[in-house]
Chains A and B, each alone.
Chain A
Amino acid sequence: MTLNSHSEPIPTQDPAGDPYQTRANTIVRASDHATPLELSNITIRYGGGKGGAEPVNVVEGFNLTLHAGEMHCVAGRSGSGKTSILTVGAGLTLPTSGRVLWEGQSLETMGDDEIADRRRALIGYVDQGGALIDGMSALENVLLPAVPDGEVEQRRDMAKDLLDLVGLGRRMRHRPAQLSGGERQRVAIARALILGTRVLVVDEPTASLDRTSANRIISILKDTTSDGIAVLVASHDHELVRLSDSLTELN
């Protein structure tokens, strides 16, 4: 399965030190993929601002090196910081301390515009529940990432292929309110892949889905790795954990 015929060669980079060394219990699986995403000594702290709330270190000293074609799962109980790690990895929020490297380049050295441009080329982010734009059809939602580069028309066929691929070829004109949770999630994955992303960041893709729908999502995610796409997924789903190449379990 080829998702992106325009994808660039995947850079190879050996992880520096122990990539899975976290305070959490880390299970390491053998992998020698390149490292499109690397999180180094990440600490995420909430509170302690003007509101006077007690500061809490949700994540502390987290390290991760994600290689091309690898699926890494971050597991843990609610509130353990799974989503926080994903948003930091996707460059949507900045960590309190630590470094985020996309293909070896630290986000600290980039401005907001550059982060946005690099994210568009490198990262595909799928929010929990597959957040879609309500007023737009599934196809239009999938095409949204192509708007900034003015490639909507060029990507239209690919968007349709992607929707076919996720099993929604006949629902591409339906709006989010007319789709089930699983379908919305699949549309969101297709949208995340439209620009030939090299890292798929997916937050709780199977939460509140039935087993069948969940398995379908997991299958899609697993298939993407075979095309060299790295997948960073946060989930409790045992099946997803089982099929991941590596796992970080947060306390």
Chain B
Amino acid sequence: MNAVQRFIRSRVLLLTAAILIIAMGLSVLIQGQSQAALNRTVDENSRGLYDILVRAKADTSSGKGALIQPEIAGGQGGISFDQLEKIRTMGGTAVAAPISLVSRVTQNLQAPRLDAMDYLGYNAGLVGSATVGAPAGTEAAKWPAAESVLDAQPKNYRLTATAVSSDGVSERTLFKTSAEGSLGKGRFVEEQTLGGKSIRIAGPAGETGIKFPAPAGGSEHNLFNLSVALPLAPEVTESVVAVDPAAERALLGSAGDFLAPLEKAPPADARDAGAIGRHFESLFTNGIGMDELEEGPDFLGVKLKYWAPLMTQYQQAKRNGELTADSQAIPLIVREGTSLDLKYSVKIEEIDASGKVVKDVGTVTRSLDKDYLPFVSRSPFALSWPGSTDHSQLLGNPGNFGQGLYNPAQWSTDFAAAPKYQDGGTQSNGAVDKTATPGDWVTVNRLPESSISGTPVDQTQRKPVDERSYREGLETGKEPAKPLPMVYGTFNADKVKEAAGDINRLPLGGYDPTPLTLNKDADGKDAGNTELKPSLSATGLVSQSAGAITDYYGLAAARGYENNADVIDAVRVRATAAGSWKQAQPEVEKLAAEIRSLGLEATVVAGSAREEANIFVPGYSKDDAGKEAPLGTVQQSWVRQDAADAVSGSLTGTNLTLLFLTLCGATLLTGASTVSYIRQRRKEAGVLRAMGWTQRKIRSWVLEEFAIGAGLIAVAGLALSLLSWNLATVLVSVSVLVIYLAAAYFTTHQLRHQDVVDQEPQHDDKLIAVDSPLTFANRQLTTNRFNSVSLAVAVGVFGAAVGALIAVLIDIPRAAGASALSGAAATSVALPSIVLAVAGVAVGLVLTLVTGRFELQAKRQYLGILEAMGWNPDMLGQVRFFENALVGTVALPLGVVGALGLGLVLAPYAALWAALAGFLAVLCWIPIATKVVK
């Protein structure tokens, strides 16, 4: 029988070589796949919209690997246009896009009203002059019959207007105001006047109408409705940011197309607010077509769809004497919709003469939502009386004719800066804790000082509310002249956010704010990740997308700066370097170094990823006694610099750890197989020795068999190394081969016959009497101590290995870090890691089974004896079970302590889980081994 035949017949050797080759192949294949998936994920997410964030040096202190605040347009300025130009002319720069915070703008909504359907039907005298551009409007046949929700005989009603705002956690009633009066169905009143008849609409006889306190107007009848002017909604505040529209479009790609109109805005010397206002006045004086009115009149190549608010504010500012020669029109791209949670409700009750409620007509509510546009009211802020139908469409769409804001917007730089934070501790997964720094209190919910007619307004109607500001005021240049907002277009904040991606979500600055969620309340209790809403004053931590985006001329006009002031807060630079992150990294670093030479702080943000920061918010609210209370702990995505490197390094390390553990299992298996092999071949070696073979001859006889296995492993290793062509494969292959050869060497030195017989009689009094399957099993294990301990050790090692693998798997997300990239990367390597871990566990299991085979023959023999003596199958099963249970009991501490120890070394935060997994693995081994021995 030659060596190959002997090798094949020697099942232990064959099994060992096969397992080693499989372990090696799996490790290389899976580790390679895992690494490729990891690299792919990192590369796909490592470069965001820009590579380098440039800020003024004085205001930044972030080092490598720092956590970067998402509000990069904080109003701090410090970068000049000269520096911007130098960055743009650097060889490695593809795009350099500046951004700055301009201002806060406070505004009232258009005066709210309640419309009760009171449609009077077609009337040629009234309709004819009001249906410009709506030809169908003059066709009487297309007008339905008159209808109304009101009675011909006026009834008494009580209207209660309520405004409620919410920060997402708790609601706050801003005011609740009631007004009473009688309302009835309107009628046409035809009057004889000089030169003919006139027609007007009037209320029924005896109607008092309803009037809320000033600045609200009263109620009036028109062709379609009875309109009741409601109390003004609270002022809301928006922020405005400035960008270079061309650079911003280059940065955002197609997602930045909304900025195209802003690119067409005229230079500063063509933005005289007075001149532009007069230009539009003349347009209407001279007449304007309906089509042009719908699209918006052309202004230097841009259709100004929202011309009505511009005119309203121009006229009001002119009337108030606020416009000066220095007043400039500021072109704005305004945000669509709002995340502000403000609900306006009106409760309508029918009452009798004594004020007692006769009937609850209903409550109507409207929120600021997607219809809302800062600086503009897309549609009138009107609430509809229950049961009303809007027939005003008969006159065409009146949306563009909305009057705009109640008062001209108030521009201010108070409490506009980015929030300030203090660093806290770092959590186990690398997440960083912060504390917000509270600033002053800001009062909201005030009424205008005077009504539109100029009469003073009673300020006691509603109670002002203080909101905590976490922001500071911005510096301004000279006192700015009253600016005139000029809406050039709109943008959708959600679409911009999509462009920034979800993992490497680098802050654009101002129009992609990161939401804040409340995790723990002031008492430290779980708050269920409630998303917080911005405050009315916009001075809190929570901000929404900028209400409007302008250009740097707009910034200069609003802040009173000269055009060349150092007002750029940040410049987002994209490098020309192409390829994967690893390929591009040197060029990006080089460009960043060049920018730093200008005296600026250049942070390489390519390779970064968003990460949740925990922020404690103190001083959030105060009670009537003035006692302040914290909000709790909120969470917000910040940007972790170098997240890609950290994730890549960490998960590569985890991969290698799994590989190492699997190979450790293979090593132990080889050792166990070797012991088994020695025991099998000792008798054979004795026979050969008796035949006159020398020790050297016997050794070479056995080594030949090992050589076959070694050859197979070497061939497999070589093939795998050539296929994968990486150093790790070569190292794995060489390691496995070395393990195998070491085992062979050990084996050949252990082939001496060593049969020692103890001649001492047994002393029964020292032994537990055999009177049950349990005591029998115990005696057997005690007798065969070496094998029992070997098996127990193998089972313990198996338990420890399972624990370690579980710990590593559980710990992957934490080990990878707290960033979004780590989550994506961990997901991408999860399957290969699990397969690798399962392979490791399988190797461990095979190890215990191989070790268990040491005594399999002897076990079979004594089980046969017991059977022959009449032990029934159940008792034989008990013997097998108790033997394995006793081995398991010895192995349990080893498995648990080993798993705990390995867990502490590999993944401290999953060590307890490792111990539990080790415990369960050993427990699971007992029935498996019992089944196998059967």
Asked whether A and B interact, the reply is yes
Within 8 A of A (CB), among B851-896: 858, 861-862, 864-875
Residues of A within 8 A of B782 (CB): 135
Determine whether the beta carbon of B868 is less than 8 Å from that of A127: yes
Determine whether the beta carbon of A135 is less than 8 Å from that of B779: yes
Determine whether the beta carbon of A140 is less than 8 Å from that of B871: no
Q: With contacts A135-B783, A135-B784, A140-B770 known, is A148 near B871, CB below 8 A? A: yes
Q: How far is the CB of B873 from chain A (nearest CB, A)?
A: 5
Residues of A within 8 A of B758 (CB): 175, 177-178
In the bound assembly, the distance between CA atoms of A152 and B869 in angstroms comes to: 14
Determine whether the beta carbon of B870 is less than 8 Å from that of A173: no
Within 8 A of B (CB), among A71-121: 90, 92, 112-113, 116-117, 119-121
Residues of B within 8 A of A150 (CB): 771-772
Asked if A165 is at the interface of the complex by the 8 Å CB criterion, the answer is: no
Q: Which of B117-125, B760-768, B918-926 contacts A (4 or more CB under 8 A)?
A: B760-768
Q: How far is the CB of A51 from chain B (nearest CB, A)?
A: 16
**Chain A window 125-139, contacts with chain B (Cβ cutoff 8 Å), 1 for yes, 0 for no:** 101000111111101
Q: How many residues on A have C-beta within 8 angstroms of the other chain's C-beta atoms?
A: 38
In the bound assembly, the distance between CA atoms of A113 and B872 in angstroms comes to: 5
Q: With contacts A135-B784, A147-B772, A152-B771 known, is A92 near B868, CB below 8 A? A: yes
Determine whether the beta carbon of A135 is less than 8 Å from that of B865: no
Asked if B757 is at the interface of the complex by the 8 Å CB criterion, the answer is: yes
Within 8 A of A (CB), among B753-797: 757-759, 761-764, 769-773, 776, 779-780, 782-784
Q: How far is the CB of B788 from chain A (nearest CB, A)?
A: 11
Within 8 A of B (CB), among A162-178: 171, 173-175, 177-178
**Chain A window 175-207, contacts with chain B (Cβ cutoff 8 Å), 1 for yes, 0 for no:** 101100000000000011001000000000000
In the bound assembly, the distance between CA atoms of A124 and B866 in angstroms comes to: 12
Q: Which of A116, A135, A152, A178 contacts B870 (CB 8 A)?
A: A116
Residues of A within 8 A of B761 (CB): 137, 171, 173-175, 178
Residues of B within 8 A of A159 (CB): none
Determine whether the beta carbon of A145 is less than 8 Å from that of B784: no
Asked if A250 is at the interface of the complex by the 8 Å CB criterion, the answer is: no
Q: How far is the CB of A190 from chain B (nearest CB, A)?
A: 12
Q: Name the residue on B nearest A150 (C-beta).
A: B771
Determine whether the beta carbon of A152 is less than 8 Å from that of B770: yes
Q: How far is the CB of A183 from chain B (nearest CB, A)?
A: 13
Determine whether the beta carbon of A120 is less than 8 Å from that of B870: yes
In the bound assembly, the distance between CA atoms of A171 and B760 in angstroms comes to: 11
Determine whether the beta carbon of B873 is less than 8 Å from that of A133: no
Determine whether the beta carbon of A144 is less than 8 Å from that of B869: yes
Q: Which of A120, A135, A173, A195 has the most CB of B within 10 A?
A: A135
Q: Which of B773, B779, B871 contacts A136 (CB 8 A)?
A: B779
Q: With contacts A173-B763, A174-B762, A178-B757 known, is A136 near B770, CB below 8 A? A: yes
Determine whether the beta carbon of A134 is less than 8 Å from that of B873: no
Q: With contacts A116-B870, A177-B757 known, is A143 near B770, CB below 8 A? A: yes
Residues of B within 8 A of A139 (CB): 764
Determine whether the beta carbon of A90 is less than 8 Å from that of B871: no
In the bound assembly, the distance between CA atoms of A143 and B766 in angstroms comes to: 18
Q: With contacts A112-B873, A116-B867, A175-B762 known, is A147 near B771, CB below 8 A? A: yes
Residues of B within 8 A of A177 (CB): 757-758
Q: How far is the CB of A232 from chain B (nearest CB, A)?
A: 14
Q: With contacts A112-B873, A113-B874 known, is A90 near B868, CB below 8 A? A: yes
Residues of A within 8 A of B764 (CB): 137, 139-140, 173
Q: Name the residue on A nearest B760 (C-beta).
A: A178
Within 8 A of A (CB), among B714-770: 757-759, 761-764, 769-770
Determine whether the beta carbon of A117 is less than 8 Å from that of B872: yes
Q: Which of A116, A174, A178 contacts B873 (CB 8 A)?
A: A116
Q: How far is the CB of A6 from chain B (nearest CB, A)?
A: 16
Within 8 A of A (CB), among B816-875: 858, 861-862, 864-875
Residues of A within 8 A of B784 (CB): 135
In the bound assembly, the distance between CA atoms of A176 and B757 in angstroms comes to: 10
Residues of B within 8 A of A92 (CB): 864, 867-868
- Known interface pairs A127-B868, A173-B761; 7 further A-B residue pairs with C-beta atoms within 8 A, sorted by A's residue number: A113-B872, A113-B873, A125-B868, A136-B762, A140-B770, A148-B870, A195-B870
Counting from the closest, the 7 A-B pairs by CB-CB distance are A135-B783, A120-B870, A116-B872, A173-B761, A125-B868, A137-B762, A152-B771
